[in-house]
Structure 1
Amino acid sequence: MGSITVSGVGKAYKFYSSRWARLAEWLSPFHKRRHTLKWVLQDINVSIGQGESVGVLGVNGAGKSTLLKMITGTTQPTTGSISINGRMAALLELGMGFHPDFTGRQNVFMAGQLLGYQAGEIAELMPEIEAFAEIGDYIDQPVRVYSSGMQVRLAFSVATMKKPDILIVDEALSVGDAYFQAKCFQRINNFRQNGTTLLLVSHSPGDVVKHCDRAILLKGGRVAMDSSSREVTNRYLDELFGKPDEAPADAEASIPTDSAAAHGLSQHDDVFHSRPGYHPSEHRWGHGGASIIDFLVSTPDASYPSRIESNTQTEFYFTVRFDSDFDQVVPGFLLKTLEGIFLYGTNSYLSSRGTAHHSAQAGSVQTYRFSMPMALNEGHYLVSFGISSGDPRQDLVPLDRRYDSVLIHVGRDVQFWGIADLRATYQQLNA
């Protein structure tokens, strides 16, 4: 019990040149084809055994949700077959199947009966469902007044009212708060320990690594990789951040040296945008006279790493080409969350405690490095670089600033609460 076999599955949708073309196709004597096929998935072959926990990853449009809908039977494959062995519970879309005008309690009975439970079973399980959802008196209010978090609380409680043989979870849990997410994953882990097969779709590599032993990467509607969750999430991050399949020769040096050229950093052209991890939505501004033309993120193990383990010493290099003479220039560095929260900012004056003094001549190219441990929680972060002129103790004139120009991913197997790792120590003191 609790297995899934997907054999040669493909899914295509019909596209018509106009609304009349569909009618003409229906009415034509020989049903002359007047449509083209758009293939969303092709040649999908996946086997998931009892008790396995498998994650599904892929960029938007890769076909993840379509695959899950075919597995759960809400849509049918165009080619191939899907075999399900065991009772399945699925949480694909937020509040899917809930009627907004009915109360939460009424929706629990309706959704439960759609899952195959008898009214008596649902009534017996109702106290446990209410206790797990923790929505209080809202259980007797219309679902239309629920927040998205309340809907997912109730939907998950219904889907997992009894241990299923197979549990399928799409991105719906990402809507819930951190407390409820932890509560849901605790229940999922309990199911896994008791033999439930888990299929999890998530955009969070950390969730996939934490909860899945194996992962599948979808790319362009096909299975691009099927391997351990760690290997697949690394490949997914490479795809997400635009890292080429084969690292260019100038990105292979992984041990920092004092030579910028040894790292392949450009000494002439602006190649900043071509580097892995470049964030196209950067905000670039400044008064001119200098241009930031290249960057490098390096750890002891890799250049342009797709994943930086928390607390790993990391080097951030950037190269500046000067078009004018400056008596004093000040390179700067800034780290932010995706939401824009400033985590850490510094410059050459602050990091050197006032000892660094740099000048620049027109036509010269200089490389600067900031080095620090990535003492952060699991997540994605934005890096900004800047070069200014003037006295750092007074007003600096921004020459070129590339804000939010690099996207990095920090990984951490055991997460903590918050963002920064302050490395607290603990000791029990006997009375």
Structure 2
Amino acid sequence: MNRTTNVTPKPLLEVRELGKAYRRYRNELMRVVSWFSTVQPQEETWILRDINFDVAQGEAVGIVGQNGAGKSTLLKMITGTLRPSEGYIRTHGRVAAILELGMGFNGELTGRQNVLHSAGLMGFTHAQVDAAMDDIEAFAEIGEYFDQPMRVYSSGMQMRVAFSVATAFRPEILIVDEALSVGDAYFQHKSFDRIREFQRQGTSLLIVSHDKAAIQSLCDRAILLEQGRVLQDGMPQDIMDYYNAIIAKKENDKVEITPLDSGQIQTRSGSGEASIRQVSLHAASGNPLDVVDVGQEVELRITVAISADLPELVIGYKLKDRVGQDVFGTNTWHTHQVERELSAGETLTYRMRFNANLGPGSYSVSLSLHSSDTHLTHNYQWVDHALVFQMVNMEKDFFLGSSWIMPTIECERQTAKSSESNESV
């Protein structure tokens, strides 16, 4: 009898108990001895410790964290350019990496020669690289510079060549470390399109970036590193919200994490000197809403409680789509409506009216209370997922996207006879 069993596919990347330490010994002899026996180092600094995660086929994982969290060190160990001090890494399939800009390139060689050299180190034959050279040159789009020494390249041109050669052959795992942030907007869009195409074909992506939009648009999940350890592993939007809260915590702000019924995570941070007491969405008639028609006039009502004397208060709101991408945001600093000289015990009620020119889907509202819009801003409270509502299209013509910006379309037609007449004049 034939029996069908569900077998979980093996992940393309396995990271187990991974750690990296830099050790200093009394002298070089003791360092050499440590290779063959246990020798206590004079000083030991752990950069990463107890890192565990898997990456499945076709999955995109973002690695985020503050400078010094260990992100680049982790990627270098995965690519094999750095040796772990403990734990292990298993990869199943070919890994292509774009790490430090220009790493492995020779400034005296031309772009073409560097492509041959780099692709050779990746394990491809001269014939394979020659067959792909035209496509690599065309994708990089650097013109005659492709046959000039790389020392005359700008950082953006180096990135173009690095990305083009790393993705000339579809890898099973693609690793990117901030390099795309160097390129111009046009090439970034082009690169992300290629990455998404690889993902559709089954390539797994591991990307380090401080670009919130890139993490949330490309990744299925994100891992937050803090002081060399995994602090959170979850949905990109939740991780980025928590990451921002961690940064706020450095100002001695309180951070609260609350699971919502929807499965999302709500993050609150701030000193608490002003706080959100209530938030609701209403129709123009005043009726409360949780489902909004495209283009409908709505009113966002927010009640704020003041618990300490404050010199000024700015309130801001931000609309996000279902994957956490910013749709629109503003605050009362930019609208020139800052409240000043507030006293403890006061309550403020804000009414923000706008037309919901949004596409169908789920949206959330994030709220912020702070002192100003300068580098001296003091965070009283930040609340993610303060409100969630659904947009539906009940009356408008069909359209795509997250914004309703329906145009007026005009068309002028000419017969073939009138066109010929115009050309003969």
TM-score by length of 1: 0.66
- Distance apart, 1:254 and its partner CA: 3.9
Alpha-carbon RMSD across the aligned residues, in angstroms, is 4.2
Residues 119/300 of structure 1: CA separation in 2 closer, same or farther (3 Å cut): closer
Query: Contact 1:383/1:403 (CA < 8 Å) preserved in 2?
Result: no
The amino acid of 1:251's aligned partner reads: S
Give the corresponding residue for 1:426: 407
Tell me the equivalent position of 1:265: 306
Query: What pairs with 1:251-290 in structure 2 (closer than 5 Å)?
Result: 251-255=275-279, 263-268=304-309
- Give the match's secondary structure for 2:97: strand
What is the aligned length?
333
Task: Give the 3 Å change call, closer, same or farther, for CA 66–106 of structure 1 in structure 2.
Answer: same
Q: Give how far 1:296 is off.
A: 4.6
Q: Give the whole-Å Cα distance in 1 for the aligned partners of 2:408 and 2:383.
A: 32
- Summarize deviations over 1:174-204 as a string: whole Å, max 9, x none: 0001100110111111111111111111111
Structure 1 pair 104–295 and aligned structure 2 pair: CA distance change class (3 A):
same
For 2:254, what is the secondary structure of its paired residue? Answer: coil
Q: CA deviation at 1:209?
A: 1.2
Q: Identity of paired residues, percent?
A: 38
Q: Given that residues 216 and 325 in structure 2 are in contact (C-alpha distance below 8 angstroms), is that contact kept between their aligned partners in structure 1? A: no
Alignment of 1:350-365 (within 5 A): none
1:310 to 318, 321, 327: 327
Matched, 1:405 2:364: no
CA-CA distance at 1:424 after TM superposition: 4.4
Q: Is the 8 A contact 1:254 1:298 kept in 2?
A: no
Over 3 Å counting, the alpha-carbon distance change for 1:198 and 1:299 in structure 2 is: closer
Q: Which residue of 2 aligns with 1:98?
A: 105
2:164 aligned with 1:157, yes or no?
Answer: yes
Alignment partner of 1:346 is 2:353: no
Does the aligned pair in 1 maintain the 2:15–2:52 contact within 8 Å?
Answer: yes
Aligned to 1:12: 21
1:33 equivalenced with 2:40 (yes/no): yes
Question: Which residue is equivalent to 1:22?
Answer: 27
Letter aligned with residue 141 of structure 2: E
Could you tell me how far 1:347 is from its partner in structure 2? 5.3
1:254/1:41 CA distance change after superposition, 3 Å: farther
Residue in structure 2 matching 1:245, options 249, 255, 258: 255
Superposed CA deviations along residues 284-309 of structure 1, whole A, max 9, x for unmatched, are xxxxxxx44x55545699xxxxx794
Cα contact 2:95–2:174 (8 A) shared by 1: yes
Decide whether the 8 Å contact of 1:56 with 1:201 is kept in 2.
Answer: yes
**CA distance in structure 1 between the aligned counterparts of 2:32 and 2:129, rounded to whole angstroms:** 48
Relative to structure 1, the CA distance from residue 135 to residue 265 in structure 2 (aligned partners, 3 Å threshold; closer, same or farther) is same
The structural deviation recorded for 1:362 is 12
Contact 1:54 1:214 in 2 (8 A): yes
After superposition, what is the alpha-carbon deviation per residue over 1:343-401, rounded to whole angstroms, capped at 9, x for unaligned? xx6358xxxxxxxxx998999999897958799xxxxxx99977xxxxxxxxxxxxxx9
Is the 8 Å Cα contact of residues 53 and 198 (structure 1) preserved in structure 2?
yes
Please report how far the alpha carbon of residue 64 of structure 1 lies from its aligned counterpart in structure 2 after TM superposition: 1.0
Distance 1:384 1:121, change over 3 A: same
Distance 1:113-1:406 versus aligned 2 partners, 3 A rule: farther
State the match for 2:204 in structure 1.
Answer: 197
Q: Deviations over 1:268-295 (max 9, x none)?
A: 3x6xxxxxxxxxxxxxxxxxxxx44x55
Change (3 A) 1:309 1:130: closer
Q: Which shows bigger deviation, 145-154 or 205-214?
A: 205-214
Code of the residue aligned with 1:244 in structure 2: it is K
* Runs of at least 5 residues in structure 2 that lack an aligned partner in the other structure: 1-9, 257-267, 281-302, 358-367, 386-401, 414-425
Whether the aligned pair in 1 keeps the contact of 2:305 and 2:347 (CA below 8 Å) is: no
Within the candidate set 110, 121, 139, 2:117 is matched to 110
Q: Return the alpha-carbon distance in structure 2 between the equivalents of residues 27 and 4 of structure 1.
A: 32
* Residues 427 and 213 of structure 1, relative CA distance in 2, 3 Å threshold: farther
Instruction: Tell me the equivalent position of 1:52.
Output: 59
SS in 2 for 1:405: coil
Q: Flag the 1:155–1:295 CA change in 2: closer, same or farther, 3 A.
A: same
Q: 1:3 aligns with which of 6, 12, 17?
A: 12
- CA distance in structure 2 between the aligned counterparts of 1:187 and 1:360, rounded to whole angstroms: 53
Distance in 2 (alpha carbons) for counterparts of 1:359 and 1:428: 47
TM-score, normalising length from structure 2? 0.67
* Partner SS, residue 113 of structure 1: helix
Give 2:336's aligned amino acid: T
- Alpha-carbon separation, structure 1, partners of 2:232 and 2:246: 12
